[in-house]
Chain A
Amino acid sequence: MTEAYKLPAPIGEKVTRVDALVKVTGEAKFADDFKFGSDLLYGRIVRSPHPHALIERIDAGKALALPGVKAVVTGEDTTNRIGLYLKDRYTFCRDRVRYVGDPVAGVIATSVDIAEAGCKLIEIEYQMLEPVLDPLQGIQEDAPLIHPELGEYPVADFIFPKPGTNISNHFKVRKGDVEGTWSDCEVIVERSFRVPHIQHAPIEPHVAIAQVDHTGRITLWGSSQSPFAQRNLIAESLGISQREVRVISPYVGGGFGSKAGVSMEALAVVMAQAVPGHPVKLRLTREEEFFCAFVRQGLVAKIKVGAANNGKLLAMKTEYYWDAGAYTEYGVNITRAAGYSSTGPYEVPNVWCDSYCVYTNHPVGGPMRGFGMPEIHWGIEQVMDIVAEELQMDKVEFRLKNCLRAGSSTATGSEMHPTGLKECITKSAQAIQWGTEETASAPHKRRGKGVAIMWKAPAMPPNAGSSAWVRFNEDATISLGIGGQELGQGSHTVAAQMAAATLGVPMDWIHISGPLDTEYSPYEWQTVASRLTWSMGNAIVEAAQDAREQILDLVAQQWGEDPQNLDIKDGLVLSYRSEQVLPLQNLVVYGLPKPDGSGWRGGPIIGHGNFMPTYVTSLDVETGQGERAVVHFTTGCQAVDLEVDTETGQIRLLRVASAFDVGRAINPDQVRAQMEGGVVQGASTTILERLQLVDGVPINPSFVDYRIASTVDAPEEIITIIVEVPQDDGPWGARGIGEHSMVPTAPAIANALADALGLRILDLPLTAEKVFFALQEKGGAT
């Protein structure tokens, strides 16, 4: 889009977050801030201490005898299995436990302490089963089966479980002739990588309060990225109508995927059913938060890449073995996304990929910021660096030569849309003076620079929908109804910007209607996949246009003019022909009196809009090929300049340049904020984070033993670069940016570390200890 194109205010402007004031005064309400009075009861969960076992007997007698305990629920109180893409779990275990933390029983009591005491009184006998503790073990033919009933589970039509195995999805890409191409390659590089489980660690723990009234109607208050998906999945699992379930969700204190789908909310609902009339609160402790909500899946990646002597990529073979955990109802689609994105943002004529979702007796893998992309790019981007090294090509040059451009054929044989990836690479490399050697601050320290590129599409069903409404108040201020959640990413602010720009009113006239309530808010599939700005944005624009047209038609009738000649600016309806002006106040609710006194015209204005992609095609089961695998890809690049201490192994990030093609920055300041946050979260997961599982038992479930980045770990400088190559079906060309900035961070750091020390570490995280010992093994820094 040319610079001459003028964006309507306040699109593209730095506007203050609409939620900032209530968040600095403490007025912003989060789910745990609601008050429920003295009827409130508290739930606690008895969880499996074993990774894999059959439940032989549960005796709740002593717990029920404890004063203050109101009820105990178990798997017998659940009806149908629950899950997003694959219904593979019961809310409470029925006959088998599959991970340490699996919920076996729920105790409802008058206080948390009593519920906790009640949990300890429940007697459970288990029969131990051999656990699966690694995906490479899980795929063996003689591996213990974690889900013998896999073949019976309802499943989405783009997920392919293999009953009789631990593989709940196998996504294949077969493009060109990979095996026949290796002999044409000048350079072939093959490496294996491991990515451990990590935890999203939002600062707000999961909390859900459920109440079932005496008609059976359920109300659920929770911290949720997905009120509508929760309504749907919980209703299905209980065998009741969606009409009987109402989900209310205020501001979310960080999600990053952990509060998408259903994780612990259904537990609260089943417990509330045992005590009709009483709200029941279930709040995860920080310890539970680490392994009883979703974790990011582990990954074993085997990557083989071949290139010609002219530096062009010829073939790529990837095998992704996902350590997907005990239930993969959501995770199966991560493994699919990894498959269709398996090459990273490169043009490769011959591609082979097998992406296996493998059940293990580990915590439940689920969506986390990046949805499989940080995990696969960790390996891809290091292999590409090594290929460039072996070709003796500059690593930036190599990427510019091979990266996707408009019209490129992707791994699935789909055509790449226009993308600013090259600009992202060039600008981020420039920002850290790529090619210039820097001097370390001390003799025992080394400097290094690295880059990594990425792509990511919103991973979702092909028909994930959004809707919106705009409703006027008497003074022409507006309630904007949206179903997308404010998790901190700034969606409320861009929503208000888009509505104001479309309607032609000042932004402070827009109020986002809330808290989000499935009873009143318009439908939104989920707040995931960096899809709101694009998808919900389109629905908002359509809703605002609908309202605007109703207003212009009304005033045009009143003035005897063609609505084409009318416009709304700064809240005033004006005619470019007759130059009449009319403020919106009152007419948007009361209509207008006909000039001849014969009555009134108009009525309260409500505009509505929706959006759903209609063009995503299915992919061939055997080859993964198809015309359009996804809606679009956001692409980007990060360049890292670091210093590493050879005496301690400690990495210090000096400069990180982060460049992404966001299509159109609706709010450039918020785009930059997303990039900064993603860089630091990415750096934290690269250098510090690993959920340590020993025989399936998490041994570091606290912020003391599982460190996340604090102020002192943040890079010295983060340079953010916005690239705008518009999306054809995005509002003003926008596409998402919420997740992407943590995708290339880890491999960019690893590549910079390799530059500094001349060694490669293939398993995350890059702890000081690991770097130190790798250096010892190598015999010192180069």
Chain B
Amino acid sequence: MAKHFISLTVNGVREYVEVPSNMTLLALLRERLGLTGIKDGCSAGECGACTVLMNFEPVNACLTLAVEAEDAVILTVEGLAQDNRLDPVQKAIIDHGATQCGFCTPGILLSARALLDRNPSPSEWEIKDALRGNLCRCTGYVRIIRAIQEAASGGSDDRSL
């Protein structure tokens, strides 16, 4: 298998890595860079648990080759909280009890962050539409949607970690 040297920025850190052609972004992040917050639920782009932001757009890391991330800016769940402050979506998910088993939560957080970045005040339908690729088997989605609505409307000020 051919190898490639690539560089990319992950959660604000510049990384230089050698990857085989067939390595997924998911494998690069989880196995090589140790970012296990990102989850693998199906390896086939069906469940959304591995959602990360690549150049501010949500992608299934399991369907993205590592080489495609050359020079990209990647955000994973580990990079959401900054300067000891939670992202408003993280805080709202906690406040609304909108995480249960937590396995889909990292992907949902990133889909929600991307949505709010491009549309700061989404309608309920726009939230549902943005999250339809993120399966959750526990919560029934009700609280997740409510949490994102609250995060969109400013959310809680006390977001200290």
Q: Tell me whether B40 and A254 are in contact (CB under 8 A).
A: no
Cβ contacts under 8 Å, B41 to chain A: 203-205, 253, 286
Cβ contacts under 8 Å, A677 to chain B: 100, 138-140
A204 in contact with B95 given A30-B39, A286-B41, A703-B42 (CB within 8 Å): no
Q: Contacting chain A: which of B2-10, B63-71, B141-149?
A: B141-149
Which residues of A, 471-515, contact B by the 8 Å Cβ criterion? 487-490
Q: Tell me whether A670 and B137 are in contact (CB under 8 A).
A: no
Q: Tell me whether B47 and A203 are in contact (CB under 8 A).
A: yes
Q: Tell me whether A30 and B97 are in contact (CB under 8 A).
A: no
Q: Tell me whether A202 and B137 are in contact (CB under 8 A).
A: yes
A23 in contact with B95 given A710-B132, A712-B128 (CB within 8 Å): no
Which residues of A, 643-700, contact B by the 8 Å Cβ criterion? 669-670, 673, 676-681
Q: Tell me whether B36 and A488 are in contact (CB under 8 A).
A: no
**Which of A20, A33, A670, A681 contacts B94, CB < 8 Å?**
A20
Q: Tell me whether A489 and B100 are in contact (CB under 8 A).
A: yes
Q: Tell me whether A25 and B36 are in contact (CB under 8 A).
A: no
- Output the least CB separation between B98 and chain A (Å): 8
**Which of B49, B81, B97 contacts A25, CB < 8 Å?**
B81
Question: CB-defined interface of B117-161 with A at 8 Å, one 1/0 digit per residue?
Answer: 000000000011101111111111111110000000000000000
A202 to B40, CA, bound (A): 12
- A406 on the interface (CB 8 Å rule)? no
A708 to B133, CA, bound (A): 11
- A16 on the interface (CB 8 Å rule)? yes
- B101 on the interface (CB 8 Å rule)? yes
Question: CB-defined interface of A242-258 with B at 8 Å, one 1/0 digit per residue?
Answer: 00000000011111100
Q: Tell me whether B46 and A253 are in contact (CB under 8 A).
A: no
- Output the least CB separation between B36 and chain A (Å): 4
A29 to B42, CA, bound (A): 18
**Which of B129, B137, B140 contacts A676, CB < 8 Å?**
B140
- A201 on the interface (CB 8 Å rule)? yes
- A415 on the interface (CB 8 Å rule)? no
Question: CB-defined interface of B87-113 with A at 8 Å, one 1/0 digit per residue?
Answer: 000100111010111111110010000
Q: Tell me whether B43 and A714 are in contact (CB under 8 A).
A: no
- Output the least CB separation between B126 and chain A (Å): 11
Q: Tell me whether B38 and A26 are in contact (CB under 8 A).
A: yes
Q: Tell me whether B142 and A714 are in contact (CB under 8 A).
A: yes
Q: Which one of B44, B90, B136, B137 has the greatest number of beta carbons of chain A within 10 Å?
A: B137
Which residues of B, 28-45, contact A by the 8 Å Cβ criterion? 34-44
Interface size on A, residues (CB 8 A): 54
Q: Tell me whether B102 and A253 are in contact (CB under 8 A).
A: yes
A215 to B62, CA, bound (A): 39
Q: Tell me whether A16 and B42 are in contact (CB under 8 A).
A: no
Cβ contacts under 8 Å, B74 to chain A: none
Cβ contacts under 8 Å, A27 to chain B: 37
- Output the least CB separation between A710 and chain B (Å): 5
Cβ contacts under 8 Å, A712 to chain B: 128-129, 132
- A763 on the interface (CB 8 Å rule)? no
State the main secondary structure of chain B at its contact with A: loop
- Output the least CB separation between B141 and chain A (Å): 5
Cβ contacts under 8 Å, B99 to chain A: 17, 19-20, 23-24, 488
Question: CB-defined interface of A23-45 with B at 8 Å, one 1/0 digit per residue?
Answer: 11111111011010000000000
A21 in contact with B94 given A201-B137, A286-B46 (CB within 8 Å): yes
Q: Tell me whether B142 and A488 are in contact (CB under 8 A).
A: no
- A442 on the interface (CB 8 Å rule)? no
- Output the least CB separation between B104 and chain A (Å): 5
Cβ contacts under 8 Å, B132 to chain A: 710-712
Closest to B76 in A: A26
Question: CB-defined interface of A183-202 with B at 8 Å, one 1/0 digit per residue?
Answer: 00000000000000000111
Which residues of A, 149-205, contact B by the 8 Å Cβ criterion? 200-205
Q: Tell me whether A26 and B94 are in contact (CB under 8 A).
A: no
Q: Tell me whether B101 and A252 are in contact (CB under 8 A).
A: yes
- Output the least CB separation between B90 and chain A (Å): 4
Q: Which one of A23, A203, A488 has the greatest number of beta carbons of chain B within 10 Å?
A: A203
A19 to B103, CA, bound (A): 12
A20 in contact with B135 given A26-B106, A32-B40, A253-B102 (CB within 8 Å): no
Cβ contacts under 8 Å, A203 to chain B: 39, 41, 47, 49, 101, 103-104, 135-137
Q: Tell me whether A17 and B103 are in contact (CB under 8 A).
A: no
- Output the least CB separation between B66 and chain A (Å): 16
Interface size on B, residues (CB 8 A): 52
Q: Tell me whether A711 and B145 are in contact (CB under 8 A).
A: yes
- A1 on the interface (CB 8 Å rule)? no
A24 in contact with B86 given A17-B99, A33-B36, A673-B100 (CB within 8 Å): yes
- B77 on the interface (CB 8 Å rule)? yes
- B78 on the interface (CB 8 Å rule)? yes
A125 to B105, CA, bound (A): 45
- Output the least CB separation between B107 and chain A (Å): 9
Q: Tell me whether A16 and B97 are in contact (CB under 8 A).
A: yes
A22 to B93, CA, bound (A): 12
- A718 on the interface (CB 8 Å rule)? yes
A204 in contact with B36 given A23-B105, A254-B137, A673-B100 (CB within 8 Å): no
Q: Tell me whether A204 and B141 are in contact (CB under 8 A).
A: no
Closest to B125 in A: A712
- A702 on the interface (CB 8 Å rule)? yes
Q: Tell me whether A702 and B44 are in contact (CB under 8 A).
A: yes
A254 in contact with B138 given A286-B44, A673-B143 (CB within 8 Å): yes
Cβ contacts under 8 Å, B95 to chain A: 16
**Which of A25, A286, A718 contacts B90, CB < 8 Å?**
A25
Q: Tell me whether A680 and B141 are in contact (CB under 8 A).
A: yes
- Output the least CB separation between A369 and chain B (Å): 10
Cβ contacts under 8 Å, B44 to chain A: 286, 702-703
- Output the least CB separation between B44 and chain A (Å): 6
Q: Tell me whether B47 and A703 are in contact (CB under 8 A).
A: yes
**Which of B37, B42, B78, B142 contacts A286, CB < 8 Å?**
B42
A708 to B47, CA, bound (A): 10
Cβ contacts under 8 Å, A285 to chain B: 43
A718 to B145, CA, bound (A): 13
- Output the least CB separation between A235 and chain B (Å): 28
- Output the least CB separation between B57 and chain A (Å): 19
A32 to B97, CA, bound (A): 24
A25 in contact with B139 given A20-B97, A20-B99 (CB within 8 Å): no
- Output the least CB separation between B46 and chain A (Å): 4
A26 in contact with B35 given A710-B135, A712-B128 (CB within 8 Å): yes
A204 in contact with B46 given A488-B138, A708-B135 (CB within 8 Å): no
Cβ contacts under 8 Å, A708 to chain B: 135, 137
Q: Tell me whether A676 and B39 are in contact (CB under 8 A).
A: no
**Which of A28, A205, A679, A711 contacts B128, CB < 8 Å?**
A711
Cβ contacts under 8 Å, A28 to chain B: 102
Cβ contacts under 8 Å, B104 to chain A: 203
- A4 on the interface (CB 8 Å rule)? no
Closest to A21 in B: B94
The chain B residues found within 8 Å of chain A, CB to CB, are 34-44, 46-47, 49, 76-78, 80-81, 86, 90, 93-95, 97, 99-106, 109, 127-129, 131-145
The list of the 6 closest CB pairs from A to B, nearest first, reads A26-B37, A488-B101, A253-B103, A680-B140, A23-B102, A488-B100
The chain A residues found within 8 Å of chain B, CB to CB, are 16-17, 19-30, 32-33, 35, 200-205, 251-256, 285-286, 487-490, 669-670, 673, 676-681, 702-704, 708-712, 714, 718
> Known contacts A203-B137, A703-B47; can you find 5 more A-B pairs with CB under 8 A?
A24-B86, A24-B94, A25-B81, A286-B43, A703-B135
Can you list 27 pairs linking A and B with CB atoms under 8 Å apart? Answer: A21-B94, A23-B105, A24-B80, A25-B77, A25-B81, A26-B106, A27-B37, A29-B36, A30-B39, A202-B101, A202-B103, A202-B137, A203-B41, A203-B103, A203-B135, A203-B136, A205-B40, A205-B41, A254-B100, A286-B41, A286-B42, A710-B131, A710-B133, A711-B141, A712-B128, A714-B128, A714-B142
